[in-house]
Amino acid sequence: MTERKISIGFPGAQKEITVEVPEGTPPPWDLKSAHTVVGTDVTRVDGAEKVTGRAKYTYDLNLPGMLHGRILRSPHPAAVVKKVDISAAARMPGVKAIVLAFDEGQIGTKRVRYAGDEILALAADTPAHAEEAIRAVKVEYETLPFVVDLDEAEREGAPQVYKDQPNVKPGRPRGNADEAAKRIAAAAVAVEATFRTQVQTHSPLETHGHVIMPDGEGLKVWASTQGVFSVRDGLAGNLGLKPEQVRVITEYMGGGFGAKFGPRAEGVLCAKLARKAGAPVKLMLDRKEEHLAAGNRPNSRQEVKAGADKDGKLVGIIVRTRGTGGVGGGAGCTIPAIYDFPEDGIYKEEADVHTNAGAAAAMRAPGHPQGIFALEQTMDMLAHELGLDPLEFRMRNDSDPIRREQYKIGAKRIGWASRRNKTPGAGTGHLRRGIGMASTLWYAAGGRQARADVEIHRDGTVVLMQGAQDIGTGFKTAIAAVVAEELGLKPSNISVKTGDTRLGYGPGSGGSTTTPTVAPAVREAAYAAKLKVFEAAAAFFKSKPEHLRAADGMIWVEDGSGAGAENRKSLSWKQACALLPADKVTGSADRRPNTEGFRNTTAGVQFAEVEVDIETGIVRVIKVVAVQDAGLTLNTLAAKSQIAGGVIQGVSFALFEDRIMDRARGLMVNPNFMDYKIAGPADCPEIEPVVFQVANGKNSVGAMGLGESPVIPTPAAIANAIFNATGARVFELPMTPDRVLAALQKKGGEKSA
């Protein structure tokens, strides 16, 4: 162990801390590190494969003798499965295997709880044969009363989704309701409103699914997943295998957004079909199944009361939220601790309400976009009541050093001072512009388990091996950049192997933690491997390994003179590797726990400009400035693209997406991409991503996660911008023309009243 001083934070808010650096590991990157790769725009190492179509996704795989699986799903929102007759299906052309989704003994009593619940799966030689065979299965159902609507499910006497549980499952309240109410009652200004958000489906371009091949006693699995190791363990557990008998591979992945962990029902069915048929089976969900049964962001109804004193300081907030995750849970809405409410002024109570609809799954910043939609509009309403500029109001109530900087940057770039309507709705004509803002925070320093191995071969080849999957975030490129930085090479010089349970353990891609978890282990593995090259080269330089330095593809003795490789005795990377005593050397490292750092959370702010047609209620988002911190950013190009992706998904959630259920039949009416509307190119605003670098410390890299945070504030910023443009506030997502028109009419009514 050696002690070392590092400086963390960002210029203007620098902090010196002392950290212990274990033997054989590099000193942490900090504000003073001079990087040549990390923190620059690095093009994706697999970009060419993806845009040329050479990249093979799970969906693209076709193995010799492969069968095609399909799932039969309940057409009823609530029913008992009385009889399942597969005799005709089994005789259909090409059918090789049929497996039930539940124990045979359950037939007669098995309850299905949403339209889309799995009944059975079969595999046939072609997709068409599989589909015809599915249609030949005869199932007898006894239908039961059901409920698909949040408000209806809460009512006394509503049909119960689970036989022996009420639909409403209250969570543990937080804070003291009376105390908070007292404070709000005594406040100089108080506001009260109910906000609603809709159910959003994850809608990844690549649907859920697997290709599974029997492999001896075990299985070889290609999965469209966010967690190869969780698929491995889930399949092993379900099929009575040892984890090492199951190999899971995810080389390319077409999006997940939180819904792709573990094998899930379709993965287990696919594995069973493959074993039964003794052949590889591909089972990918179609778009309708994806909407019905592959997860969603629960809806919410949030009743909020808040108050502030005459100096514009927040005094209290009461939030009561309910939401439905269908047959699943997790409908809580986080109203995160962004602003400085006094601790005993906060009261929060939330409940999950079950309905007969597909189960929720974690979705990009679970609970946050919903909660922020309510919180940030509440903030604007308070500012309005106080007659304060909403930005000034936030400055008075946000002590976060990073966001305080970000507010200034964002305000300047959007033209807050000059372009915002001082009086909301002050413009003329039918097209009204306005500006609004909202903030975000996230927790993503990483730190769970991960192991990385870096091989350096005698010919100079560098191979980085890490089992976690790149789900499209650019994880592969980020860790290649880390190795390149450490070895003084270019990211394209590093061959990266990821997404394979045969490689070192890596976390599931959730909570924005994959890169911050894995990158430190990767750096330390690269460092360890580099030391081995230095050992081999030390004799040549007649120096000690620890005095060598690698940069710009060269190795030389660093004597502190500052002279570069060109002015001294040096070896090229290849020449140095040729001196290795063996074919290859390997550096390995496990993720160590985080130590002290600058912060545990990341910060961001977004400013949106919208244009509202006040005669039709149609909203266009003109521009979004998104200032976001992700700790020490490994690849700014990918960071900007993550931010843009978050904003686009936020716009889509704000204005369009909505899982629409028919209440009479309990079925989703828009399980496709025609009627389930997602923002397209013409709906995307100009996006100005601003990467706000913060050297975070905590580990040898100091990176923080970025996947989720940028989606959080967009809908709220848009809602606040609509208010600034029109003077009308929309309390419900999506903010479609009918809702905007209704809000405008209500405002008109108030005026004339």
The SS3 of residue 494 is strand
Question: Would you count residue 169 as binding another protein (CB under 8 A)?
Answer: no
- Which DSSP state fits 59? G
Question: Would you count residue 559 as binding another protein (CB under 8 A)?
Answer: no
Are 127 and 304 in contact by the 8 Å Cβ rule? The answer is no
Structure tokens at 316: 């209290």
Bridge partners of residue 122, in order along the sequence: 70, 98
The SS3 of residue 314 is strand
Question: Would you count residue 680 as binding another protein (CB under 8 A)?
Answer: yes
The nearest distance, CB 4 to another protein, in angstroms, is 53
Gap between the Cα atoms of 231 and 344, Å rounded? 43
Give whichever of 352 and 611 is closer to another protein, judged by the CB atom: 611
- The two counts, helices (H) then strands (E), for the chain are 18, 33
Question: Would you count residue 94 as binding another protein (CB under 8 A)?
Answer: no
Question: Would you count residue 233 as binding another protein (CB under 8 A)?
Answer: no
CA angle 631, 698, 37 (to 5 degrees): 50
- Which DSSP state fits 545? G
Q: Burial letters for 63-99: b for 16+ Cβ neighbours within 10 Å, e otherwise? A: eeebbbbbbbbbbbbbbbbeebebeebeebebbbbbb
The SS3 of residue 677 is coil
Gap between the Cα atoms of 580 and 537, Å rounded? 8
Give whichever of 157 and 429 is closer to another protein, judged by the CB atom: 429
**Among the listed residues 151, 615, 686, 750, the single contact to another protein using CB under 8 A:** 615
E strand or H helix at 258: none
Gap between the Cα atoms of 169 and 298, Å rounded? 14
**Among the listed residues 48, 88, 128, 539, the single contact to another protein using CB under 8 A:** 128
Are 313 and 397 in contact by the 8 Å Cβ rule? The answer is yes
Structure tokens at 539: 């004799």
- φ and ψ at 611, to 5 degrees? -125, 125
Question: Would you count residue 545 as binding another protein (CB under 8 A)?
Answer: no
The nearest distance, CB 746 to another protein, in angstroms, is 13
The nearest distance, CB 87 to another protein, in angstroms, is 22
The nearest distance, CB 675 to another protein, in angstroms, is 6
Stretch of 214-222, 268-276, 435-443, 662-670 contacting another protein, by CB under 8 A? 662-670
C-alpha torsion 492→494→500→504, nearest 10: -150
Restricting to residues 51-80, which ones interact with another protein according to CB under 8 A?
A: 75
Give whichever of 207 and 302 is closer to another protein, judged by the CB atom: 207
Question: Would you count residue 300 as binding another protein (CB under 8 A)?
Answer: no
The nearest distance, CB 354 to another protein, in angstroms, is 21
C-alpha atoms less than 13 angstroms from C-alpha of 527 in its C-beta half-sphere: 21
Question: Would you count residue 217 as binding another protein (CB under 8 A)?
Answer: no
- φ and ψ at 353, to 5 degrees? -120, 120
**Among the listed residues 152, 215, 286, 385, the single contact to another protein using CB under 8 A:** 286
Question: Would you count residue 205 as binding another protein (CB under 8 A)?
Answer: no
The nearest distance, CB 684 to another protein, in angstroms, is 9
The nearest distance, CB 415 to another protein, in angstroms, is 23
Question: Would you count residue 147 as binding another protein (CB under 8 A)?
Answer: no
Give whichever of 132 and 385 is closer to another protein, judged by the CB atom: 132
The nearest distance, CB 609 to another protein, in angstroms, is 16
The nearest distance, CB 656 to another protein, in angstroms, is 6
The SS3 of residue 87 is helix
Question: Would you count residue 618 as binding another protein (CB under 8 A)?
Answer: yes
**Among the listed residues 197, 198, 670, 724, the single contact to another protein using CB under 8 A:** 670
The nearest distance, CB 595 to another protein, in angstroms, is 47
Q: Burial letters for 687-697: b for 16+ Cβ neighbours within 10 Å, e otherwise? A: bbbbbbbbbbb
Question: Would you count residue 288 as binding another protein (CB under 8 A)?
Answer: yes
Give whichever of 115 and 338 is closer to another protein, judged by the CB atom: 115
Are 209 and 304 in contact by the 8 Å Cβ rule? The answer is no
**Among the listed residues 14, 17, 63, 131, the single contact to another protein using CB under 8 A:** 131
Cα four-point dihedral sign 104, 105, 107, 112? negative
Gap between the Cα atoms of 50 and 55, Å rounded? 5
Stretch of 42-50, 415-423, 529-537, 613-621 contacting another protein, by CB under 8 A? 613-621
Give whichever of 32 and 135 is closer to another protein, judged by the CB atom: 135
**Among the listed residues 664, 749, 752, 753, the single contact to another protein using CB under 8 A:** 664
Task: Give, rounded to a whole angstrom, the gap between the first and last alpha carbons of the chain.
Answer: 74
Are 607 and 413 in contact by the 8 Å Cβ rule? The answer is yes
**Among the listed residues 249, 414, 603, 679, the single contact to another protein using CB under 8 A:** 679
**Among the listed residues 320, 413, 457, 665, the single contact to another protein using CB under 8 A:** 665
Cα four-point dihedral sign 729, 735, 741, 746? negative
Residue 569, Cβ neighbours under 10 Å: how many? 11
Mapped to the 3 state alphabet, what secondary structure does 331-393 carry? CCCCCCCCCCCCHHHEEEEEEEECCCCCCCCCCCCCCHHHHHHHHHHHHHHHHHHHCCCHHHH
Question: Would you count residue 732 as binding another protein (CB under 8 A)?
Answer: no
E strand or H helix at 285: none
The nearest distance, CB 127 to another protein, in angstroms, is 5
**Among the listed residues 258, 617, 689, 705, the single contact to another protein using CB under 8 A:** 617
The nearest distance, CB 667 to another protein, in angstroms, is 5
**Among the listed residues 32, 91, 616, 686, the single contact to another protein using CB under 8 A:** 616
Question: Would you count residue 662 as binding another protein (CB under 8 A)?
Answer: yes
**Among the listed residues 26, 94, 127, 415, the single contact to another protein using CB under 8 A:** 127
Interface size with another protein, residues (CB under 8 A): 38
**Among the listed residues 78, 319, 503, 667, the single contact to another protein using CB under 8 A:** 667
Give whichever of 666 and 707 is closer to another protein, judged by the CB atom: 666
The nearest distance, CB 654 to another protein, in angstroms, is 12
Nearest to 513 by CA among 231, 252, 227, 230: 227
Question: Would you count residue 656 as binding another protein (CB under 8 A)?
Answer: yes
Question: Would you count residue 47 as binding another protein (CB under 8 A)?
Answer: no
The nearest distance, CB 356 to another protein, in angstroms, is 14
Stretch of 191-199, 343-351, 480-488, 730-738 contacting another protein, by CB under 8 A? 730-738
The nearest distance, CB 685 to another protein, in angstroms, is 11
The nearest distance, CB 209 to another protein, in angstroms, is 12
Q: Using CB under 8 A as the criterion, which residues of the chain lie in contact with another protein when the complex forms?
A: 75, 115, 127-128, 131-132, 286, 288, 613, 615-618, 620, 655-656, 660-665, 667, 669-670, 674-675, 677, 679-683, 736-738, 741-742
